[in-house]
Amino acid sequence: MKRTLRVRLPPLAELGADTSLEYEVLDASRVVLERGSAVPAALPRLPRSELVVAASDVLLVEAAVPPLSGARLRAALRSLAEPHLLGTPEAAFVVAGKSSVLAILDRVLFERALALLARVKITPASATPEQLSLPWRPGRWRARVGCVRTGELSGISCSAGDPPIELALAVQQAAARPQAIEVEGECDAEAWSRELGVPVERVPPAARAEPVRLELLQYELAPQVVNWRAARLPLALAALCLLTWIVGLNVDAWLLRREANALRERINADFREAFPRVPVVLDPAKQMRRGVAELKSGAGAASPRDFLPLAAGLARALPNEADVVRRLEYRGDTLRAELEPRALDSATKRALVLETLGAAGLSANIAENTLTVRAAP
Protein backbone atom coordinates (compact mmCIF):
# COMPACT_ATOMS: atom_id res chain seq x y z
CA MET A 1 0.00 0.00 0.00
CA LYS A 2 1.53 3.32 -1.10
CA ARG A 3 1.48 5.84 1.74
CA THR A 4 2.00 9.61 1.76
CA LEU A 5 3.50 11.90 4.38
CA ARG A 6 1.64 15.24 4.63
CA VAL A 7 3.56 17.88 6.60
CA ARG A 8 1.97 21.11 7.86
CA LEU A 9 4.52 23.90 7.82
CA PRO A 10 4.48 26.74 10.36
CA PRO A 11 4.90 30.34 9.14
CA LEU A 12 7.93 30.08 6.83
CA ALA A 13 9.86 32.78 8.68
CA GLU A 14 9.71 30.65 11.86
CA LEU A 15 10.73 27.36 10.25
CA GLY A 16 14.02 25.91 11.47
CA ALA A 17 15.79 22.59 11.96
CA ASP A 18 14.43 22.30 15.53
CA THR A 19 10.84 23.37 14.72
CA SER A 20 8.21 20.81 15.63
CA LEU A 21 6.05 20.07 12.58
CA GLU A 22 2.60 18.52 12.54
CA TYR A 23 2.28 15.64 10.11
CA GLU A 24 -0.23 13.08 8.87
CA VAL A 25 0.30 9.68 7.26
CA LEU A 26 -2.19 9.00 4.45
CA ASP A 27 -2.99 5.76 2.67
CA ALA A 28 -3.57 5.40 -1.08
CA SER A 29 -7.16 6.70 -0.76
CA ARG A 30 -5.96 9.64 1.41
CA VAL A 31 -7.46 8.30 4.63
CA VAL A 32 -5.52 9.61 7.64
CA LEU A 33 -3.77 6.66 9.28
CA GLU A 34 -1.64 8.56 11.78
CA ARG A 35 -1.18 12.05 13.17
CA GLY A 36 1.78 13.36 15.10
CA SER A 37 4.50 15.99 15.38
CA ALA A 38 8.28 15.84 15.04
CA VAL A 39 11.27 17.95 14.09
CA PRO A 40 12.21 17.71 10.39
CA ALA A 41 14.97 15.16 10.93
CA ALA A 42 12.61 12.83 12.83
CA LEU A 43 9.74 12.87 10.35
CA PRO A 44 8.71 9.48 8.90
CA ARG A 45 10.32 8.57 5.60
CA LEU A 46 7.63 7.51 3.11
CA PRO A 47 7.70 7.07 -0.69
CA ARG A 48 5.74 10.28 -1.25
CA SER A 49 5.43 13.52 0.72
CA GLU A 50 3.23 16.64 0.50
CA LEU A 51 3.51 20.05 2.10
CA VAL A 52 0.74 22.20 3.53
CA VAL A 53 2.02 25.79 3.49
CA ALA A 54 0.74 28.04 6.29
CA ALA A 55 -2.15 30.28 5.26
CA SER A 56 -0.30 33.36 6.46
CA ASP A 57 2.37 32.73 3.78
CA VAL A 58 0.00 32.20 0.82
CA LEU A 59 -2.21 34.95 -0.58
CA LEU A 60 -5.03 33.69 -2.81
CA VAL A 61 -6.18 36.26 -5.38
CA GLU A 62 -8.86 36.04 -8.04
CA ALA A 63 -7.59 37.31 -11.38
CA ALA A 64 -8.37 37.01 -15.07
CA VAL A 65 -5.55 34.73 -16.20
CA PRO A 66 -4.81 35.19 -19.94
CA PRO A 67 -4.69 32.13 -22.23
CA LEU A 68 -0.87 31.99 -22.34
CA SER A 69 1.71 29.35 -21.49
CA GLY A 70 5.35 29.01 -20.54
CA ALA A 71 7.47 32.07 -19.92
CA ARG A 72 4.81 34.46 -21.27
CA LEU A 73 2.25 33.18 -18.75
CA ARG A 74 4.77 33.46 -15.93
CA ALA A 75 5.50 37.10 -16.80
CA ALA A 76 1.78 37.81 -17.00
CA LEU A 77 1.19 36.26 -13.56
CA ARG A 78 3.76 38.59 -12.00
CA SER A 79 2.04 41.56 -13.56
CA LEU A 80 -1.35 40.41 -12.26
CA ALA A 81 0.05 39.89 -8.77
CA GLU A 82 1.94 43.22 -8.60
CA PRO A 83 -0.99 45.32 -7.22
CA HIS A 84 -1.21 42.93 -4.25
CA LEU A 85 2.52 43.01 -3.40
CA LEU A 86 4.38 45.20 -0.96
CA GLY A 87 7.77 44.38 -2.45
CA THR A 88 9.05 43.87 -5.97
CA PRO A 89 7.47 41.25 -8.27
CA GLU A 90 10.84 39.48 -8.53
CA ALA A 91 10.73 38.68 -4.79
CA ALA A 92 7.37 36.91 -5.15
CA PHE A 93 6.65 33.40 -6.36
CA VAL A 94 3.35 33.39 -8.26
CA VAL A 95 1.49 30.35 -9.58
CA ALA A 96 -1.97 29.86 -11.06
CA GLY A 97 -4.51 27.12 -10.52
CA LYS A 98 -6.85 25.59 -13.07
CA SER A 99 -9.27 28.49 -12.67
CA SER A 100 -8.71 32.22 -12.29
CA VAL A 101 -6.97 32.04 -8.91
CA LEU A 102 -3.39 33.09 -8.16
CA ALA A 103 -1.29 31.96 -5.20
CA ILE A 104 1.43 34.39 -4.11
CA LEU A 105 4.31 33.43 -1.79
CA ASP A 106 7.61 34.90 -0.69
CA ARG A 107 10.14 33.27 -3.00
CA VAL A 108 13.11 33.36 -0.61
CA LEU A 109 11.24 31.90 2.36
CA PHE A 110 9.61 29.18 0.26
CA GLU A 111 12.91 28.12 -1.33
CA ARG A 112 14.54 28.16 2.11
CA ALA A 113 11.87 25.78 3.45
CA LEU A 114 12.36 23.38 0.53
CA ALA A 115 16.14 23.45 1.03
CA LEU A 116 15.77 22.72 4.77
CA LEU A 117 13.62 19.68 4.02
CA ALA A 118 16.00 18.54 1.29
CA ARG A 119 18.83 18.45 3.86
CA VAL A 120 16.89 15.82 5.81
CA LYS A 121 16.18 13.92 2.54
CA ILE A 122 12.51 14.93 2.20
CA THR A 123 11.65 15.98 -1.36
CA PRO A 124 7.97 16.90 -1.57
CA ALA A 125 6.02 15.85 -4.64
CA SER A 126 3.30 18.45 -4.02
CA ALA A 127 2.46 21.52 -1.94
CA THR A 128 -0.84 23.28 -1.32
CA PRO A 129 -2.05 26.30 0.69
CA GLU A 130 -3.32 25.51 4.18
CA GLN A 131 -6.67 27.19 3.43
CA LEU A 132 -7.37 24.70 0.64
CA SER A 133 -6.30 21.68 2.70
CA LEU A 134 -9.43 22.02 4.85
CA PRO A 135 -12.58 20.09 3.88
CA TRP A 136 -15.23 22.14 2.12
CA ARG A 137 -18.88 21.68 1.20
CA PRO A 138 -21.02 24.18 -0.72
CA GLY A 139 -22.66 26.66 1.62
CA ARG A 140 -20.44 25.76 4.60
CA TRP A 141 -17.12 27.30 5.56
CA ARG A 142 -14.38 25.43 7.39
CA ALA A 143 -12.02 26.98 9.95
CA ARG A 144 -9.10 25.93 12.08
CA VAL A 145 -6.52 27.88 14.02
CA GLY A 146 -4.91 30.30 11.58
CA CYS A 147 -7.08 29.88 8.48
CA VAL A 148 -10.57 29.62 6.98
CA ARG A 149 -11.67 28.01 3.75
CA THR A 150 -14.50 29.97 2.19
CA GLY A 151 -14.86 28.27 -1.18
CA GLU A 152 -13.50 25.65 -3.51
CA LEU A 153 -10.44 27.77 -4.34
CA SER A 154 -10.73 30.60 -1.81
CA GLY A 155 -9.68 31.12 1.77
CA ILE A 156 -8.01 33.51 4.17
CA SER A 157 -5.56 33.47 7.05
CA CYS A 158 -6.76 34.45 10.51
CA SER A 159 -5.17 35.81 13.64
CA ALA A 160 -6.07 34.78 17.16
CA GLY A 161 -9.48 35.94 18.31
CA ASP A 162 -12.79 34.74 19.68
CA PRO A 163 -13.87 34.86 16.90
CA PRO A 164 -11.01 36.10 14.67
CA ILE A 165 -11.60 39.58 13.29
CA GLU A 166 -10.68 38.39 9.77
CA LEU A 167 -13.44 35.78 9.90
CA ALA A 168 -16.00 38.38 11.03
CA LEU A 169 -15.02 40.73 8.19
CA ALA A 170 -15.17 37.88 5.64
CA VAL A 171 -18.71 37.00 6.78
CA GLN A 172 -19.84 40.64 6.54
CA GLN A 173 -18.30 41.14 3.08
CA ALA A 174 -19.35 37.78 1.60
CA ALA A 175 -21.65 38.01 -1.40
CA ALA A 176 -23.47 34.94 -0.06
CA ARG A 177 -23.29 34.37 3.67
CA PRO A 178 -22.45 30.76 4.61
CA GLN A 179 -25.18 28.55 5.97
CA ALA A 180 -22.81 27.42 8.75
CA ILE A 181 -19.18 27.56 9.81
CA GLU A 182 -17.44 24.37 10.93
CA VAL A 183 -14.54 24.89 13.35
CA GLU A 184 -11.82 22.35 14.11
CA GLY A 185 -10.43 22.73 17.62
CA GLU A 186 -11.46 24.66 20.71
CA CYS A 187 -14.02 27.46 20.35
CA ASP A 188 -17.12 28.83 22.05
CA ALA A 189 -19.61 27.87 19.34
CA GLU A 190 -22.50 29.81 20.90
CA ALA A 191 -20.48 32.99 21.35
CA TRP A 192 -19.12 32.74 17.80
CA SER A 193 -22.63 32.20 16.43
CA ARG A 194 -23.94 35.34 18.22
CA GLU A 195 -20.93 37.40 17.12
CA LEU A 196 -20.91 36.29 13.50
CA GLY A 197 -24.62 35.89 12.98
CA VAL A 198 -24.01 32.48 11.42
CA PRO A 199 -24.43 29.04 13.03
CA VAL A 200 -21.05 27.75 14.22
CA GLU A 201 -20.38 24.05 14.86
CA ARG A 202 -17.40 22.34 16.43
CA VAL A 203 -16.18 19.37 14.37
CA PRO A 204 -13.30 16.89 14.74
CA PRO A 205 -10.43 16.89 12.22
CA ALA A 206 -11.36 15.28 8.93
CA ALA A 207 -10.65 11.56 8.62
CA ARG A 208 -9.72 11.94 4.95
CA ALA A 209 -7.29 14.48 3.52
CA GLU A 210 -8.49 16.78 0.79
CA PRO A 211 -6.89 16.33 -2.64
CA VAL A 212 -4.54 19.06 -3.83
CA ARG A 213 -6.67 21.78 -5.41
CA LEU A 214 -3.91 24.28 -6.18
CA GLU A 215 -0.36 23.10 -6.78
CA LEU A 216 2.34 25.44 -5.45
CA LEU A 217 5.33 23.48 -6.78
CA GLN A 218 5.46 24.83 -10.31
CA TYR A 219 8.10 26.15 -12.70
CA GLU A 220 11.64 25.81 -11.30
CA LEU A 221 10.30 24.45 -8.01
CA ALA A 222 8.37 21.62 -9.65
CA PRO A 223 9.48 18.13 -8.57
CA GLN A 224 11.88 16.37 -10.89
CA VAL A 225 10.34 14.04 -13.45
CA VAL A 226 13.02 11.48 -12.52
CA ASN A 227 14.26 11.24 -8.96
CA TRP A 228 17.88 10.35 -9.66
CA ARG A 229 18.61 9.66 -6.01
CA ALA A 230 15.82 7.09 -5.81
CA ALA A 231 16.67 5.71 -9.25
CA ARG A 232 20.34 5.02 -8.49
CA LEU A 233 19.80 1.43 -7.35
CA PRO A 234 17.50 0.42 -10.29
CA LEU A 235 19.91 2.07 -12.74
CA ALA A 236 22.88 0.27 -11.19
CA LEU A 237 21.05 -3.06 -11.39
CA ALA A 238 20.06 -2.37 -14.99
CA ALA A 239 23.67 -1.52 -15.89
CA LEU A 240 24.88 -4.70 -14.17
CA CYS A 241 22.32 -6.80 -16.07
CA LEU A 242 23.35 -5.15 -19.36
CA LEU A 243 27.04 -5.77 -18.63
CA THR A 244 26.34 -9.41 -17.73
CA TRP A 245 24.35 -9.86 -20.93
CA ILE A 246 27.13 -8.34 -23.06
CA VAL A 247 29.81 -10.50 -21.42
CA GLY A 248 27.66 -13.62 -21.74
CA LEU A 249 26.93 -12.86 -25.39
CA ASN A 250 30.63 -12.45 -26.16
CA VAL A 251 31.56 -15.64 -24.29
CA ASP A 252 28.87 -17.57 -26.17
CA ALA A 253 30.06 -16.14 -29.49
CA TRP A 254 33.65 -17.13 -28.63
CA LEU A 255 32.58 -20.70 -27.76
CA LEU A 256 30.57 -21.01 -30.98
CA ARG A 257 33.51 -19.67 -33.00
CA ARG A 258 35.89 -22.14 -31.36
CA GLU A 259 33.46 -25.01 -32.02
CA ALA A 260 33.08 -23.91 -35.66
CA ASN A 261 36.86 -23.79 -36.11
CA ALA A 262 37.26 -27.26 -34.59
CA LEU A 263 34.51 -28.65 -36.82
CA ARG A 264 36.09 -27.05 -39.89
CA GLU A 265 39.48 -28.55 -39.03
CA ARG A 266 37.88 -31.98 -38.55
CA ILE A 267 36.14 -31.74 -41.93
CA ASN A 268 39.41 -30.71 -43.60
CA ALA A 269 41.25 -33.60 -41.96
CA ASP A 270 38.62 -36.11 -43.06
CA PHE A 271 38.72 -34.73 -46.59
CA ARG A 272 42.53 -34.96 -46.79
CA GLU A 273 42.36 -38.51 -45.48
CA ALA A 274 39.79 -39.49 -48.09
CA PHE A 275 41.40 -37.53 -50.95
CA PRO A 276 45.13 -37.21 -50.17
CA ARG A 277 45.98 -36.17 -53.76
CA VAL A 278 44.03 -32.90 -53.59
CA PRO A 279 46.67 -30.17 -53.04
CA VAL A 280 44.47 -27.37 -51.62
CA VAL A 281 41.28 -27.57 -49.51
CA LEU A 282 39.00 -24.59 -50.09
CA ASP A 283 35.44 -25.92 -49.71
CA PRO A 284 35.61 -29.47 -48.28
CA ALA A 285 31.91 -30.26 -48.81
CA LYS A 286 31.88 -29.17 -52.43
CA GLN A 287 35.24 -30.81 -53.17
CA MET A 288 34.05 -34.04 -51.49
CA ARG A 289 30.97 -34.17 -53.72
CA ARG A 290 33.12 -33.53 -56.77
CA GLY A 291 35.59 -36.26 -55.76
CA VAL A 292 32.84 -38.82 -55.26
CA ALA A 293 31.38 -37.92 -58.64
CA GLU A 294 34.80 -38.39 -60.28
CA LEU A 295 35.23 -41.77 -58.60
CA LYS A 296 31.85 -42.89 -59.87
CA SER A 297 32.48 -41.72 -63.42
CA GLY A 298 36.01 -43.20 -63.49
CA ALA A 299 35.05 -46.66 -62.24
CA GLY A 300 31.83 -47.15 -64.22
CA ALA A 301 28.41 -47.83 -62.79
CA ALA A 302 28.57 -51.67 -63.28
CA SER A 303 32.18 -52.16 -62.09
CA PRO A 304 32.53 -54.07 -58.81
CA ARG A 305 35.42 -51.75 -57.98
CA ASP A 306 33.00 -48.82 -57.61
CA PHE A 307 32.32 -47.47 -54.12
CA LEU A 308 28.55 -47.61 -54.49
CA PRO A 309 28.24 -51.40 -55.07
CA LEU A 310 30.49 -52.01 -52.09
CA ALA A 311 28.44 -49.68 -49.89
CA ALA A 312 25.15 -51.18 -51.13
CA GLY A 313 26.32 -54.71 -50.45
CA LEU A 314 27.54 -53.70 -47.00
CA ALA A 315 24.19 -52.07 -46.20
CA ARG A 316 22.29 -55.26 -47.17
CA ALA A 317 24.58 -57.48 -45.14
CA LEU A 318 24.61 -55.52 -41.87
CA PRO A 319 21.82 -55.82 -39.28
CA ASN A 320 18.95 -53.41 -39.86
CA GLU A 321 19.68 -51.31 -36.76
CA ALA A 322 20.56 -47.65 -36.15
CA ASP A 323 24.10 -46.56 -35.25
CA VAL A 324 25.75 -49.86 -36.25
CA VAL A 325 28.60 -48.23 -38.21
CA ARG A 326 31.01 -46.03 -36.27
CA ARG A 327 33.30 -45.08 -39.17
CA LEU A 328 33.36 -45.73 -42.88
CA GLU A 329 36.52 -45.45 -45.02
CA TYR A 330 36.98 -46.08 -48.76
CA ARG A 331 40.56 -46.25 -50.02
CA GLY A 332 42.33 -48.25 -52.67
CA ASP A 333 39.19 -50.03 -53.91
CA THR A 334 38.59 -51.26 -50.38
CA LEU A 335 35.76 -50.31 -48.08
CA ARG A 336 36.46 -50.53 -44.37
CA ALA A 337 33.67 -50.20 -41.81
CA GLU A 338 34.34 -49.86 -38.09
CA LEU A 339 31.30 -51.38 -36.37
CA GLU A 340 29.77 -51.23 -32.93
CA PRO A 341 30.87 -54.26 -30.83
CA ARG A 342 27.27 -55.40 -30.45
CA ALA A 343 26.75 -55.53 -34.22
CA LEU A 344 28.80 -58.74 -34.67
CA ASP A 345 28.95 -60.09 -31.13
CA SER A 346 28.35 -63.73 -32.18
CA ALA A 347 29.83 -66.16 -34.68
CA THR A 348 26.40 -66.65 -36.25
CA LYS A 349 26.07 -62.94 -37.04
CA ARG A 350 29.56 -62.82 -38.53
CA ALA A 351 28.97 -65.86 -40.70
CA LEU A 352 25.68 -64.43 -41.94
CA VAL A 353 27.32 -61.13 -42.90
CA LEU A 354 30.17 -62.84 -44.76
CA GLU A 355 27.73 -65.15 -46.55
CA THR A 356 25.55 -62.23 -47.67
CA LEU A 357 28.55 -60.28 -48.98
CA GLY A 358 29.89 -63.33 -50.77
CA ALA A 359 26.53 -63.88 -52.47
CA ALA A 360 26.74 -60.27 -53.73
CA GLY A 361 30.08 -61.02 -55.41
CA LEU A 362 32.15 -59.29 -52.76
CA SER A 363 35.12 -60.48 -50.74
CA ALA A 364 35.00 -59.70 -47.04
CA ASN A 365 36.79 -60.46 -43.81
CA ILE A 366 36.30 -59.44 -40.20
CA ALA A 367 39.06 -58.46 -37.77
CA GLU A 368 37.77 -57.58 -34.30
CA ASN A 369 35.11 -54.88 -35.01
CA THR A 370 36.40 -53.88 -38.49
CA LEU A 371 34.74 -55.28 -41.59
CA THR A 372 36.77 -55.06 -44.84
CA VAL A 373 34.91 -55.35 -48.14
CA ARG A 374 36.39 -55.44 -51.65
CA ALA A 375 35.45 -56.83 -55.03
CA ALA A 376 35.91 -60.58 -55.43
CA PRO A 377 38.98 -61.46 -57.57
More confident residue, 27 or 82: 27
pLDDT at position 227 is 56
pLDDT at position 65 is 83
pLDDT at position 303 is 46
More confident residue, 79 or 6: 6
On whether residue 229 sits in a domain, the answer given is: no
**Stretch 249-272: mean pLDDT, rounded?**
88
Angstrom distance (rounded) from CA 170 to CA 150: 9
Same domain, 98 and 38: yes
Residue numbers of the domain that contains 338: 300-375
On whether residue 210 sits in a domain, the answer given is: no
Same domain, 96 and 2: yes
For residue 333, give the CATH number of its domain: 3.30.1240
On whether residue 292 sits in a domain, the answer given is: no
**Which of 122-131, 299-308, 347-356 bottoms out in mean pLDDT, i.e. has the lowest?**
299-308
Helices (H), 217-361: 228-274, 284-299, 307-317, 347-359
| pLDDT range class, residue 322, cuts 50, 70, 90 | low
Same domain, 149 and 53: no
Domain boundary among 205, 240, 260: 205
Q: Is residue 126 within 8 Å of residue 212, measured between CB atoms? A: yes
pLDDT surpasses 60 at 163: yes
Domain boundary among 223, 255, 281: 223
Q: Is residue 184 within 8 Å of residue 1, measured between CB atoms? A: no
**Stretch 269-277: mean pLDDT, rounded?**
77
Angstrom distance (rounded) from CA 178 to CA 198: 7
Q: Is residue 75 within 8 Å of residue 57, measured between CB atoms? A: no
| pLDDT range class, residue 286, cuts 50, 70, 90 | confident
For residue 40, give the CATH number of its domain: 3.30.420.380
Pick from 342, 345, 335: which is nearest to 308 by CA? Answer: 335
Residue 260 neighbours by CB under 8 Å, 6+ apart: none
Domain boundary among 223, 258, 275: 223
Same domain, 120 and 143: no
- The total of structural domains in the chain comes to 3
pLDDT surpasses 90 at 354: no
Same domain, 24 and 65: yes
More confident residue, 140 or 72: 140
Same domain, 196 and 157: yes
| pLDDT range class, residue 106, cuts 50, 70, 90 | very high
Same domain, 74 and 151: no
**Stretch 87-109: mean pLDDT, rounded?**
87
Same domain, 119 and 167: no
**Which of 108-117, 295-304, 305-314 bottoms out in mean pLDDT, i.e. has the lowest?**
295-304
Same domain, 29 and 114: yes
Same domain, 124 and 11: yes
Cα 64 → chain centroid: 42
pLDDT at position 300 is 46
More confident residue, 139 or 350: 139
On whether residue 361 sits in a domain, the answer given is: yes
On whether residue 268 sits in a domain, the answer given is: no
Same domain, 122 and 148: no
Same domain, 112 and 14: yes
pLDDT at position 317 is 80
| pLDDT range class, residue 296, cuts 50, 70, 90 | low
